[in-house]
Amino acid sequence: MHIQKIAAFSDGDTGGNPAGVVLADALPLDADMQRIAAEVGFSETVFATPMGDSWRVRYFSPESEVAFCGHATIALGAALALQQGDGVFALALNHAQITVEGQRQGTTVAAALQSPPTRSQPAPATLVAEALALFGYTWSDLDPRIPPALAHGGADHLVLALKTRSALAAMRYDLAAGRVLMRREGWATILLGFTETAQQWHTRNAFASGGVLEDPATGSATAALAGYLRDIAWPHASRINVVQGEDMGMRSLLRAEFSNLPGSSVRVAGTARVMSD
């Protein structure tokens, strides 16, 4: 079985979030997909097989199956473009039907996904307090313009907006404690963000639920963030640009484009680069 390694949302020929990509005639057994994802060791590995006019897709982190993974979907779009040619590909996930497109551009592939529907709601104060304690933050570290929220963009995320870039850079937490909290609440990640301008964001994503301390680029969380900003009438002008992974030395660039229609899909785009085996 050939496992491609593709970094999604790269900064040109560097950075991005590595994902394993397996294109197969049939999906392996669940236990085998989980084992392969653990052996690959990236935050996610995506498995895809042809199914009529679409592709049946499943995602696995090193420790569990994931409902939706944005950066692995971008990596999949790149792999399909390299194998099938440039195009838009229909994907059947466990709980949603989406698309991903890929277009070859020299040494990289431009790719974009259309997320599942988005939704958001205010986060309960007790949960926010627990999350703040996990990272060693206090309520005074939060940006009052962007209240803590539970946001969904194919997976569930807690969104905490911070007042300063330095607070974001100082993110630290205990992986085991984070795993307990995130799995109990069903959160794929906790997104910590800082808004440099209304449309320019810096984010970090704790991914203890998948056994990974931090994710360098998170498409589902970016879609969830975009949907949440739309819900609170943030002056987004229908798009945001996100820099993620910078504090990890794996700078990643994501772009989210979306309409003002509540709950509608978010287009999350970037580039992908093929990594050497």
In whole angstroms, give the CA distance from residue 169 to residue 146. 19
Q: Domain for residue 59, yes or no?
A: yes
Q: Tell me, what's the pLDDT at 1?
A: 81
pLDDT of residue 225: 98
Task: Specify whether the CB–CB gap between 176 and 217 falls below 8 A.
Answer: no
Instruction: Retrieve residue 217's tokens.
Output: 């680029």
Q: How many domains does the chain have?
A: 2
Which single residue is written with the structure tokens 């993110």? 171
pTM higher than 0.85, yes or no?
yes
Q: Give yes or no: residues 85 and 176 share one domain.
A: no
Q: Given the structure tokens 């879609």, which residue do they identify?
A: 223
Query: Of 64, 87, 114, at which residue does a domain stop?
Result: 114
State which residues of the chain have pLDDT below 50: none
Instruction: Clarify whether residues 243 and 128 are in a common domain.
Output: yes
Q: List residues with catalytic annotation.
A: 44
Q: Express each pLDDT in 174-200 by its tens digit.
A: 999 999 999 999 999 999 999 999 999
pLDDT at 277: 60
Q: Which domain holds residue 34?
A: 4-114
Q: Do 123 and 186 have their domain in common?
A: yes
Q: For residue 276, what pLDDT is reported?
A: 75
DSSP E strands in the chain: the ranges are: 4-8, 17-23, 45-51, 54-60, 65-66, 87-92, 97-105, 108-114, 119-122, 149-152, 156-161, 189-195, 200-207, 212-215, 239-244, 252-257, 267-274
Residues 103 and 131 in one domain: no
Specify if 51 maps to a domain.
yes
